[in-house]
Amino acid sequence: MADAASVDLMSLAADFASAGKIGINTAAQEVIRTAAQTVQKEAQTLAPVKSGRLRSSISIRYPNPMEAVVGPQVAYGVYQEFGTGERGEFPGKAYTIKPKKPGGLLVFKVGGKTVYARSVRHPGIPAHPYMRPALEKVLGDMAGSLASKGALLIAKGPNA
């Protein structure tokens, strides 16, 4: 019985075998577009949701016909993927949050109780990967092989 990766490769081989009719470049472009769209849908499914903004920002751009870039368009997308501060995959320092106005106070709730503070030491947020698992699910073992050959680039975290 064939595993999912070999079935995908057989399908890919069949796509290229029929490429003689439509041209190898056109066939490759179709494969790239299909893979990119599938990664986008999977990433949208896996993305953490608070407001839905991150999920809806995951888009595809095509710098050229043989390249697809899939990822979030909101600035905090990378921080959700890799985490931040002491809790992130690329550990950094905890950071201090201060009020915008000098001499002001931060106001927030903890356990239903209102808390006032001049500053807060924040350890960061843990990683909530959604892009890398989507890519791995769609491309399987092929993703690691492509990445090791430099044919697939995966953006690194904020402290890499």
pLDDT digit string (tens) for 13-70?
A: 666 666 555 677 787 888 889 999 999 999 999 999 999 999 999 999 999 988 999 9
Q: Could you tell me if 138 and 70 lie in one domain?
A: yes
CA 72 from chain centre, in angstroms, equals 7
Evaluate whether residue 155 is within a structural domain. no
* Domain range enclosing 96: 91-122
Q: Tell me if 160 is assigned to some domain.
A: no
Q: How many residues are present in the chain?
A: 160
Bridge pairing between strands 113-117 and 120-122 = unpaired
pTM above 0.75, yes or no: no
> Is 86 domain-assigned?
no
3-state helix, strand, coil in the chain (%, to 5): 45, 15, 40
pLDDT in tens, 96-119: 999 999 999 999 999 999 999 999
Q: Are 73 and 97 within one domain?
A: no
Do 134 and 62 share a structural domain?
yes
Give domain status of residue 96, yes or no: yes
For the record, the structure tokens of 40 come out as: 């986008």
74/24 same-domain check:
yes
Strand runs (DSSP E) across the chain, as ranges?
A: 59-64, 67-71, 95-97, 106-110, 113-117, 120-122
